[in-house]
Amino acid sequence: MSRKYFGTDGVRGLVGQYPITPDFALKLGWAAGRAMASQGRASVVVGKDTRLSGYLFESALEAGLSAAGVSVRLLGPIPTPAVAHLTRAFHASAGIVISASHNPYYDNGIKFFGPDGKKLPDAVELEIEAWLDREMTIDNPDQLGKVTRQEDARGRYIEFCKSSFPFNLSLHGLKVVVDCAHGATYQVGPAVFSELGAEVIRHACEPDGQNINHEVGSTHPEGLQQRVLAEKAHLGIAFDGDGDRIVMVDHQGEVVDGDELVYLIAREKQRSGVPVQGVVGTLMSNFGLEKAVQGLGLEFVRANVGDRHVMAALEERGWTLGGEASGHIVCLDKATTGDAIVAALQVLAAMVSSGRTLAELKAGMSKYPQVLINVRLAQKIDLKACASVQQAVAAAEAELADQGRVLLRASGTEPVIRVMVEGRDGVLVQRIAEELAEAVRNCL
């Protein structure tokens, strides 16, 4: 069945435009509460990032959940993976995150975790949607849900993150610049690394409700690159607004993306004797990652883009490690969902235990030149029905032969067609990508 309200990762959009409105959030809280209450007395934890609109939607969700008889713990500004962890820790019926991840402050969204700390199954989302189409009713006054604020939520999550780092290792002697994108990690991120012994230099850790992700964080690491060089730091760590994406910067100021970080973690697990059967990437993962993983003697599988699909592929195979070039990294032996801080700690553990720099560790993987062009659209188009685009793709694949690949896909969160071309010859790749992007534009 197709979903009416839920997208690839909850409900997301422009604040003030349906469905990202307070009345819809109220009804969504009530509908989710009704779906959960059908299994008995329910409780929910609710976290948010640092967007100004988070206050609005937190209050609306709180009211809707209470109206459905659901008890609520408010966690305040806290990373998305923290909500997943605390959902399990409190044995809650669900966790709710108010965030639009790496998007600007004027976007927002609402996404859910199940009691196991993983994304809600499709069946549960469909049940919530069924309740959304019903008339909202309120329980008797003595059946309304209670609401409390969980004051120690950040501390609980900090200790959880630290527990994923080997107890016999320390970060003493490392100078680290931490870029929190003025987002949800602005308090817990620096605390985790400093409590493990690192000298932490804070970058983009001053949220004002509107500066989240603005030219900072994992999608804009340029400022972090400059800061690492200026501070003569050993490395930099950049999160996105809700703390489930990460990229790093080595001491030379070079960006280390999600593909390279996944490879580093896989190699460290193998080196330390931790069983690793294979690694899950996505259709956008660099071909160099595939070759490097296979060079370790491990299987490499590509899933559709999105952490939901990476998770599904991991669970299907019983594997524990996967990720995306954008920085979504899933370590299922450490957490139930993609967690940027936990992923960073696995890389730092590899550095400390090996005595090697981040630049030295990433040298084991050679990336193919890859060009990604986002073609923004005024309306959706069916690429398969556009003959000129299909002809352009066929010509590009013939020219690249077995030395590259082409991928055109629609974004799940934005009105954008992503044109990706990859191959050994960087000049050829750039030209083909530009030609394909123009073909997509002309299709309109």
Q: What is the mean pLDDT of residues 354-368?
A: 94
pLDDT of the residue at 157: 98
Query: Can you give the residue range of the structural domain that contains 77?
Result: 11-150
What single DSSP character describes residue 146?
Answer: P
* Chain segment 411-435, per-residue pLDDT in tens: 766 778 999 999 989 999 999 999 9
Q: 128: domain CATH number? A: 3.40.120.10
Contacts of 188 (CB under 8 A, 6+ apart): 78, 79, 82, 154, 157, 158, 161, 243, 341
pLDDT of the residue at 413: 64
Nearest to 98 by CA among 113, 88, 85, 86: 113
What's CA 18's distance to the chain center, in Å? 24
**Domain closes at, from 217, 233, 255:** 255
Which residues, in sequence order, are bridge partners of residue 48? 77, 98
Q: Is the pLDDT of residue 106 over 80?
A: yes
Contacts of 262 (CB under 8 A, 6+ apart): 279, 281, 289, 321, 322, 323, 329
d(CA 68, CA 58): 16
Model-level pTM?
0.90
Beta strand extents in 79-198 (DSSP E only): 94-98, 107-113, 147-149, 175-179
Does 159 reside within a domain? no
Q: Which single residue is written with the structure tokens 């690949």?
A: 405
Does 363 reside within a domain? yes
Torsion angle defined by CA atoms of residues 289, 292, 295 and 299, in that order, rounded to the nearest 10 degrees:
-20
End-to-end CA distance of the chain: 29
d(CA 394, CA 401): 10
Question: CA 322, 243, 365: angle at the middle one, nearest 5?
Answer: 40
Which of 39-48, 182-191, 327-336 is predicted with the least confidence, judged by mean pLDDT?
A: 39-48
d(CA 369, CA 427): 9
Q: What is the mean pLDDT of residues 85-112?
A: 97
Classify residue 135 as exposed, middle or buried by CB count within 10 Å of its CB (0-12, 13-18, 19+). exposed
Q: Please tell me which residue in 53, 71, 101, 326 is annotated as part of the active site.
A: 101
Q: What is the mean pLDDT of residues 201-215?
A: 98
Does 208 reside within a domain? yes
- Exposure class string for 179-199: b at 16+ Cβ within 10 A, else e: bbbbbbbbbbbbbbbeebebb
Q: Are residues 15 and 145 in the same domain?
A: yes
Omega before 141 within 30 of 0, i.e. cis: no
Q: Are residues 57 and 112 in the same domain?
A: yes
pLDDT class of 1 with cuts at 50, 70, 90: low
Does 3 reside within a domain? no
Does 319 reside within a domain? yes
CB 257 within 8 A of CB 372: no
Does 5 reside within a domain? no
Q: Are residues 267 and 230 in the same domain?
A: no
**Domain closes at, from 299, 334, 367:** 367
Contacts of 168 (CB under 8 A, 6+ apart): none
Q: Are residues 419 and 317 in the same domain?
A: no
Structural domain count, the chain: 4
Does 30 reside within a domain? yes
Q: Do you know the residue count of the chain? A: 444
Q: Are residues 145 and 23 in the same domain?
A: yes
Q: What is the mean pLDDT of residues 377-406?
A: 86
Q: Is the pLDDT of residue 212 over 90?
A: yes
Would strands 416-423 and 235-239 be described as parallel, antiparallel, or unpaired? unpaired
Q: Are residues 246 and 278 in the same domain?
A: no
Nearest to 11 by CA among 150, 109, 93: 109
Average pLDDT, the chain: 94
Q: Are residues 143 and 18 in the same domain?
A: yes
pLDDT of the residue at 412: 66
Contacts of 392 (CB under 8 A, 6+ apart): 435, 436, 439
d(CA 58, CA 170): 38
pLDDT of the residue at 406: 92
Nearest to 196 by CA among 178, 217, 218, 216: 178
Residue 43 annotated as catalytic = no
Q: Is the pLDDT of residue 40 over 80?
A: no
Q: 380 vs 375, which has greater pLDDT?
A: 375
Q: Is the pLDDT of residue 266 over 60?
A: yes
Does 164 reside within a domain? no
* Chain segment 275-318, per-residue pLDDT in tens: 899 999 998 899 889 989 999 999 999 999 888 899 999 999 99
Q: Are residues 383 and 355 in the same domain?
A: no
* Chain segment 290-302, per-residue pLDDT in tens: 989 999 999 999 9
d(CA 305, CA 286): 13
Q: Are residues 229 and 355 in the same domain?
A: no
* Chain segment 127-173, per-residue pLDDT in tens: 999 999 999 999 789 999 999 999 999 999 999 999 999 999 999 99
Q: How many helices (H) and strands (E) does the chain have?
A: 14, 18
Q: 384: domain CATH number? A: 3.30.310.50
pLDDT class of 351 with cuts at 50, 70, 90: very high
* Chain segment 65-74, per-residue pLDDT in tens: 999 999 999 9
Q: Are residues 17 and 129 in the same domain?
A: yes
d(CA 389, CA 375): 13
Q: What is the mean pLDDT of residues 345-374?
A: 95
Q: 443 vs 159, which has greater pLDDT?
A: 159
d(CA 225, CA 220): 10
Q: Is the pLDDT of residue 244 over 90?
A: yes
Question: CA 69, 121, 146: angle at the middle one, nearest 5?
Answer: 15
**Domain closes at, from 216, 236, 255:** 255
Nearest to 102 by CA among 326, 342, 380: 326
Q: Are residues 118 and 228 in the same domain?
A: no
The encoded tokens of residue 51 equal 């967007």
d(CA 181, CA 200): 15
Q: Are residues 181 and 270 in the same domain?
A: no
What single DSSP character describes residue 367?
Answer: P
pLDDT of the residue at 3: 75
pLDDT of the residue at 236: 98
pLDDT class of 178 with cuts at 50, 70, 90: very high
